[in-house]
Amino acid sequence: MTPKNIKIYEVGPRDGLQNEKINISLENKIKFINLLSLCNYSDIEVGSFVSPRWVPQMQNSDLIYKNITKSKKINYPLLVPNMEGLNNAVKNKVKNICVFTTASETFSKKNTNCGVKETKKNIKEIIKIAIKHNIKIRAYISCVLGCPYEGKISYKKTSDLANFLIEEGCYEVSLGDTVGYGTPNETKKLISAVAKKIKVSKIAMHLHDTYGQALANIYASLQMGVSTYDTSVGGLGGCPYAKGATGNVATEDVLYMLKGMGVYCEVDLKKVLKASRFIYKILKRNISSKVALALTAN
Ligand code: HMG
Ligand code: MG
């Protein structure tokens, strides 16, 4: 059941940096993404067209998208929460966007100032117009393995939401364990519920490592046949509207595990390490990835 080929969707420049309080220059963000573009990813999420008052670090996303050196083999998606975000995407000739929602009413309001029902309505409209512009749409569902405000979120509600997003025209749904509460058996139960509504090939896993469970949850997800994983170089990341959430699972740690399991992934670990060292030097912090630390020490 474990897939033979794994796709890694890099979220470092977006999820990884969105919560950083220090000013990271446009030039350094571009250099960072250009280093990532050398690593053989299929997708690098480079920013968000969200309100700069809500997420200040993402406010130069248009300039980033415009000035990075794009590889024809890589998609460079950005997050879009509303029509204003979509208009920015269209204006900047963006080819891939991500919409985001959740089955948690409270998280939805905290993250986008909008309840679940209204968000679904907005997303429907965003998708309709994005498709007219030949923009491909990915979707995120947050808090799938628990919400910092509401606790356990029904897998049925998450599955229904995933079904809605695929039916409306998203090509993939990424299931976000936003605060990293999940454990392997729960991860399996969640995937099993969602796979009753959409194909497993359309599920991606987006696992934050707050409780140190992300690699174990990826192992469980692999056993369920999931072949796409969102990871963040060096383990950067967090969500500004999910108190306590730390970084996504580190790209380096996932690549190391996959190699050890004999599962193919074309992303180049050595080149990822270069990008990781570059960005952590700017952040003036030690890399969170255990594999990166071990390889740096040796
Ligand atoms: P709002 O305050 O209700 O927006 O925020 P509004 O429509 O009332 O507009 C207020 C102001 O924001 C106006 O400006 C708008 O122009 C501006 P003013 O006239 O006052 O100067 N505005 C915008 N500016 C730029 N781009 C836009 C935009 N929209 C309005 N798109 C809004 C509503 C959705 C905008 C806000 O709540 C928001 O930006 N939220 C985004 C929050 C966010 O980015 N969260 C992190 C990403 S999700 C995540 O990390 C989870 C994930 O990783 C998966 C997981 O881990 O679970 C994906
Ligand atoms: Mg996230």
Q: Across residues 197-204, what is the average pLDDT?
A: 98
Provide CB contacts within 8 A for 21, sequence distance 6+: 57
Encode pLDDT of 47-76 as tens digits.
999 999 999 999 999 999 999 999 999 999
Calpha distance 100→55 (Å, rounded): 15
Lowest-confidence segment of 99-108, 152-161, 284-293 by average pLDDT: 284-293
Assigned domain for 244 exists? yes
Parent domain of 188:
7-297
Assigned domain for 1 exists? no
Probe target for ligand 1 pocket from 46, 50, 51, with the most ligand atoms within 8 Å of CB? 51
Assigned domain for 80 exists? yes
Report whether pLDDT(246) > 90: no
Q: 3-class secondary structure for 172-194?
A: EEEEEECCCCCCHHHHHHHHHHH
The mean pLDDT value of the chain amounts to 96
User: Model-level pTM greater than 0.85?
Assistant: yes
pLDDT at 200: 98
3-state DSSP helix/strand/coil % of the chain, to nearest 5: 45, 15, 40
Encode pLDDT of 28-43 as tens digits.
999 999 999 999 999 9
Question: Looking at the 3D structure of the chain, how many domains does it have?
Answer: 1
Query: Is residue 107 within 6 Å of ligand 1 at its C-beta?
Result: no
Assigned domain for 249 exists? yes
Tell me the two tokens of residue 192. 């099993």
Assigned domain for 2 exists? no
- Domain with residue 51: its CATH number is 3.20.20.70
pLDDT at 285: 87
239 is catalytic: yes
Calpha distance 290→288 (Å, rounded): 6
